[in-house]
Amino acid sequence: MDITIPPCNHTSHFINITLRETKEDRCEECGGEISGTAFTCDCCNVWKHISCADKLNRDLPLEIIHPLHFQHRLQLQWLYYWDFICDKCLYISTGYRYRCYSCDFNLDLTCASSVSGQLPKYHEPLRFKDGKKKTIFHYSHHEELSFFKYRKVRKEDYDCFWCEKHLLPSEVCYGCTFCKFYLHQVCGDKIPMTLSRSFHPKHPLRLTYPFVVCIYKCNVCSKWSNDNIPLYVCEKCNFCLDSDCAKHLPSLKID
């Protein structure tokens, strides 16, 4: 039988938190697997280990001053639907964070609890000289992509946009957490900027985005594309090919 309990101070968004048995879910706080009794929210489908929920009940401060970002206070924030990259450990995370809004600086709870003001030296290749995490602008996406180390933070695995294989634990990738767009490092150079197809031989198809041109429907599979996924387009002929068809149909030629 479900047991309804009152929410803790910083989970007031939960309307109905219950204790239930599960074997196939992951903890929203630590990312670990759950086997047995755990807290869940029926509205959000969020699960937490009992130990993780107890930890959050200990009145986490709403603001902290951290030596890694002493110029501004960091505010406690909870956003389950948007992942983030911790600016200290560079792992992808979800749920609670301490955040500086003006600087877009984020720490997960583990790194926020550390009083060390030193960044890990083995992460230096993933940072700029000023210590900030490296970002790039890649032609496959309209937003800036950040380098990060992957760990499983949700029930489903995250896949590389191009090769469609799972991201591996501790693997260095880059991506946009807002759009949930991720790439293996080795796949970044494999995405063609233009395509030639036998069923559209007149002009090459160029990589673009749905909001850039007024073409949203793939002429091959008739599926509508969302703003986060690039398309191959011939603007002269008003012809569109989505990325799935571009990857899976034969006679691909990379210019």
**Are residues 26 and 85 located together in one domain of the fold?**
no
**Are residues 174 and 201 located together in one domain of the fold?**
no
**Are residues 120 and 170 located together in one domain of the fold?**
yes
pLDDT of amino acid 40 = 80
Alpha carbon 249 to its chain centroid, in Å, reads 28
**Are residues 220 and 104 located together in one domain of the fold?**
no
**Are residues 213 and 229 located together in one domain of the fold?**
yes
| pLDDT tens sequence for the chain (255 residues) | 233 333 333 344 444 567 788 887 888 778 788 888 888 876 667 788 888 776 666 657 888 999 999 899 999 887 767 899 999 999 999 878 899 999 999 999 889 888 777 887 777 888 888 888 889 999 888 889 999 999 988 878 899 998 999 999 999 999 999 889 999 989 988 888 888 777 778 888 888 876 544 546 788 888 877 666 788 888 888 888 888 888 776 544 444
Give the whole-angstrom CA distance, residue 85 versus residue 178.
Answer: 11
**Are residues 95 and 108 located together in one domain of the fold?**
yes
Residue where a domain terminates, one of 191, 207, 242:
191
**Are residues 49 and 71 located together in one domain of the fold?**
no
pLDDT of amino acid 41 = 73
**Are residues 178 and 213 located together in one domain of the fold?**
no
pLDDT of amino acid 73 = 93
Say which DSSP state 35 is in.
E
**Are residues 100 and 212 located together in one domain of the fold?**
no
**CATH number where 34 lies:** 3.30.60
Are 37 and 21 in contact, with CB atoms under 8 Å apart? Answer: yes
Query: Alpha-carbon torsion 201, 229, 192, 194, what sign?
Result: positive
Specify which residues 37 forms β-bridges with: 21
* Beta-sheet strand order (sheet of 74-85): 63-64, 74-85, 92-100, 105-107
pLDDT of amino acid 84 = 94
**Are residues 38 and 91 located together in one domain of the fold?**
no
**Are residues 74 and 100 located together in one domain of the fold?**
yes
pLDDT of amino acid 2 = 32
**Structural domain containing residue 233:** 194-254
Q: Please state the domain count of the chain.
A: 3
Residue where a domain terminates, one of 30, 56, 82:
56
pLDDT of amino acid 13 = 41
Global pTM value: 0.71
Coil vs helix vs strand at 114: coil
Measured at the alpha carbon of residue 191, what is the angle toward residues 185 and 195, in degrees to the nearest 5? 175
**Are residues 92 and 143 located together in one domain of the fold?**
yes
Residue where a domain terminates, one of 191, 208, 226:
191
